[in-house]
Amino acid sequence: MKLLRVGPVGQERPAVMDEAGNLRAISEPEIDGAFLASGGVARVREALERDELPVLESEGLRIGPPVARPGKIVCIGLNYRDHAEETGAPIPAEPIIFMKAPNTVVGPYDEVLIPRDSVKTDWEVELAVVIGRTVRYAETREEALAAVAGYAISNDVSEREFQLERGGQWDKGKSCETFNPLGPWLVTADEIADPQALGLRLWVDGEPYQNGDTKNMIFHVAEVVRYLSRFMVLEPGDVINTGTPAGVALGLPGTPYLRAGQVMELEIDGLGRQRQTVGQA
């Protein structure tokens, strides 16, 4: 099932896409942690099966981020061997964890703003994991995956100078406004047979830069969820960005960082496609 939120910024309303590709309004107040924790996915599925949901007119309708107000965004750094190698970083022995401000989340087609004084704004196509139930101290792969509500595309936009050259932790190069386009859909976990068998791709101005596969993650989704639950309580609505494959500007000759007016396009198998125009803050 594909859940999404549509409408102007700050006025999004929940919807679901049916098998024919139509958008249907759902009666839930939001797609958020409370919705996921209270069995909202099952309620929507039942209403859809009973054909109780009205069709929405989708012409010209903005698609917002599929999850409202994530409690936290937890990110895994250097989780693809080829990405670690292209940046000259050692292969991590344990997952590298950093946080991203929840208010970085925007819709999958919204503008991405280059921060003021930025010279190294970069792209990162990533598989996002959305948590559907509280998980703490998960012991097994099965327990970890049972806590996953679904998956989405995430663009973990990063400012490399802020992140790596200005001291402190990575967060200030990751938490600028608009730095986390998410969506277009939250695809429920039952539709993704194997989260480690998904191709990821990214283009800038039509030129391909990233072409990877989640099978090449150093730490797979189940291990990431299990590992994180040892250090923090994961709650419904939390988002985990699981890392990016090779092909970011940081690791390329000439470091072709983003400029205003450029267009990023991203896709992950089964999860749809994003497109963002780059602007200036």
pLDDT digits (tens, 9 = 90+) for 191-214: 999 999 999 999 999 999 999 999
Picking from 16, 102, 106, the residue whose alpha carbon sits closest to that of residue 54 is 16
Eight-state DSSP code of residue 174: T
β-bridge mates for residue 211, sequence order: 201
Q: Among positive and negative, which fits the CA dihedral 112, 115, 116, 122?
A: negative
Residue 49 to residue 57: CA distance in whole angstroms: 20
Question: What pLDDT is attached to residue 1?
Answer: 97
Residue 168 reports pLDDT greater than 90: no
* Both structure tokens of 160: 């490399």
Q: Provide the CA 232 distance to its chain's centre, in angstroms.
A: 20
**For the segment 247-268, what is each residue's pLDDT rounded down to a tens digit?**
999 999 898 999 999 999 999 9
Helix (H, G, I), strand (E, B) or coil at 36: helix
User: CA-based angle 181:87:222, to the nearest 5?
Assistant: 55
Distance CA 105, CA 155 (A): 10
Q: How far apart are CA 184 and CA 6, in angstroms?
A: 10
Classified as helix, coil or strand, 29 is: coil
Query: What pLDDT score does 82 carry?
Result: 87
Contact status, residue 54 vs residue 25, Cβ threshold 8 Å: yes
SS3 state at 228: helix
pLDDT value of position 89: 86
* Domain spans of the chain, in order of start: 2-49, 73-280
Range 73-280 has CATH code 3.20.20.70: no
Of 185, 166, 184, 190, which is closest to residue 176 (Cα–Cα)?
166
